[in-house]
Structure 1
């Protein structure tokens, strides 16, 4: 595999077709096909399912793409090291939605002093999807919830723990948890993510009577519905950082015993280990700055390679 073949293969994976990849690598579609055919001949294996239109990477193709991404990144970092430059390139980073507006961008800002030549590509998504993108090499790392299984070859390191909060209109300040649920209907967070499932499970286990009035698929919209007086909701503490002062009555959900943990998932073997160590530390430092409980690095969930 030469560099151009690797770049072409990665471009096909990123764009989904030979034609779109051709525009990225500045080649004709015919030249793209010739490169891929030469690569397949060299490897002695077909990398694409050509019964589909456009052709799609098969299992062997996915393996080669992962290797190509890693090799290209190593080459970038090696050139920087030899030339005396500081770590540069693009850090592909994923984050679950609630951490994509404050914590992760502010951690990026903290990284700038140590890595001024580094740029960032932030992808927002669900924990399971982000984890699969880290495993495939599409992302270098991601911030994900801890109640998803750690995929083989990855390691999850805790960053912070945060309480879930019960929020109600400010006019109901002083009411107990059960009083709030009896007096007001519930605003549900509807997304297929661990947090939504955790909230539903906790409500069920507590035997709390719930009368649903609204469903929203973003935390800002859930909080907005509460401020508007529609009902009560359960949200993580980070979702309240930008809420208007005095607009809500907030108390710990379940008597402060219900929390969620969030951590950094990365590949066990990565050419960007130093940068990701710095990113982990920046996330912890910014979590403390935002009033969240940063967790020590002593525990990690690791899947077998």
Structure 2
């Protein structure tokens, strides 16, 4: 019978992938650079595959390394959940979570299910608002933690996910062919709205803003009914939408960045537990998408795919 994989080695491997550096990973796992390198050699011997390949002065994950990363995350998450389930010192209390409704449908089921299994004595209170409102709620002390649209300039948040921001129209209406484009956007403070307007202005494309709403449901309804075009992150795409690209006359948009913001709270242990579960849940969603779609992520309902670049893993002396 084959010997089981070493969780310590897998945790170091994941830390290398997350930090992008053998050196930073060594600091996080409290080991020397040489000890981390030895762990990775032993892990490669155990797997029987090369997990890293040279890339200039550093290293990067091989395709086999990418495959292992998916399984390693799952094993570590399951180990943590198992230990939490048998921990007599389980967290108790209430935590107030905020998220835009764009993210709620896609991410909350996984986050809530994972957190509730490990922390059955914690009550979750969920608020759905646009990011500017969530930032204000955090400032006022009305929320403990929020999943927000990351804006490094306007607000400080911990970046936990990046995905394509896409032009979307109805799959059954030629709305995008109108001479003056009818648009549906969030409020003027919306980062995606500003990005879309900047691109349209740079292209000298005529448009008018027909609908403004903070509700993702309202924006989606305007798009699906053929009344307007909008921009949405990959996670918010719905059946019946068509993704528009450069072939349709629409320029590329910046990525949607999703982050975590913490408020001032009397229960930092619970907030940190929620933050960990959010990060792990988003990893798990990405992992499942990767397994279902191969090395590509679905970037649209109409067959457009995008490849995620492999991180460069700097490893002096490896």
- TM bracket, shorter-chain basis: 0.5 to 0.7
1:195-234 Cα deviation digits (max 9, x unpaired): 3333223322332221444444423222222322224332
Aligned counterpart in structure 1 of residue 135 of structure 2, from 126, 131, 154: 131
Partners of 1:135 and 1:271 in 2: how far apart? 19
Give the whole-Å Cα distance in 1 for the aligned partners of 2:245 and 2:162: 14
Q: In 1, are the aligned partners of 2:114 and 2:277 still within 8 Å (CA)?
A: no
Structure-2 change in CA distance of 1:184 and 1:92 (3 Å): same
Of stretches 223-232 and 283-292 in structure 1, the one that deviates more from structure 2 is 283-292
2:211 & 2:137 partners in 1: Cα distance?
Answer: 32
CA contact (8 A) 2:111 2:277 kept: no
Superposition deviation, residue 165 in structure 1: 1.7
What is the aligned length?
A: 204
Measured after TM superposition, the shift of residue 268 of structure 1 is 8.6
Gaps spanning 5+ residues in structure 2: where?
A: 1-86, 290-296, 300-307, 311-318
Say whether the 8 Å CA contact 2:185–2:209 is kept in structure 1.
Answer: no
79, 83, 97: which one pairs with 1:93? 97
Residue of structure 1 equivalent to 2:59: none
Aligned to 1:258: 254
Using the size of structure 2 for normalisation, the TM-score is 0.53
Q: Deviations over 1:169-220 (max 9, x none)?
A: 32468xxxxx935456322214233333332233223322214444444232
Q: Where do 1:36-185 residues align within 5 Å?
A: 84-147=88-151, 149=153, 156-171=157-172, 180-183=176-179, 185=181
Deviations along 1:20-73, one digit per CA (max 9) or x if unpaired, are: xxxxxxxxxxxxxxxxxxxxxxxxxxxxxxxxxxxxxxxxxxxxxxxxxxxxxx
Distance 1:229 1:257, change over 3 A: closer
Structure 1, unaligned runs of 5 or more: 1-82, 174-178, 297-305
In structure 2, the CA distance between the partners of 1:131 and 1:288, relative to structure 1 (3 Å rule), is farther
Q: 1:285 to 1:199 in 2, by over 3 A?
A: same
Give the TM-score of the pair, scaled to structure 1.
Answer: 0.55
Cα distance 1:88–1:248, how it changes in 2: closer, same or farther (>3 A)?
same
Which whole-Å deviations, capped at 9, do the CAs of 1:64-86 have from their partners, x for residues lacking one?
A: xxxxxxxxxxxxxxxxxxx9431
Contact 2:143/2:263 (<8 A) preserved = no
Going from structure 1 to structure 2, the CA distance change for 1:207 and 1:186 (only over 3 Å counts) comes to same
State the secondary structure of the residue aligned to 1:112.
helix
TM-aligned CA distance change 1:188 to 1:104, over 3 Å: same
Against the structure 1 CA distance between its residues 217 and 268, is the aligned structure 2 distance closer, same or farther, given a 3 Å change threshold? closer
Structure 1 position 286 matched with structure 2 position 279: no
Shift of 1:161: 1.4
Conservation of the 8 A alpha-carbon contact between 2:173 and 2:226: no
Tell me, yes or no, if the aligned pair for 2:100 and 2:130 is still in contact at 8 Å. yes
- Are the structure 2 counterparts of residues 248 and 96 from structure 1 closer, same or farther at C-alpha, using a change threshold of 3 Å? closer
The answer on whether the counterparts of 1:220 and 1:239 sit within 8 Å (CA) in structure 2 is no
SS in 1 for 2:89: coil
Partner of 2:7: none
CA shift in 2, pair 1:169/1:136, >3 Å: closer
Is 1:238 the equivalent of 2:231? no
Q: Which moved more, 1:209-218 or 1:85-94?
A: 209-218
* Matched residue, 1:195: 192
Larger Rg: 1
Q: Over aligned residue pairs, what C-alpha RMSD do you find?
A: 3.7
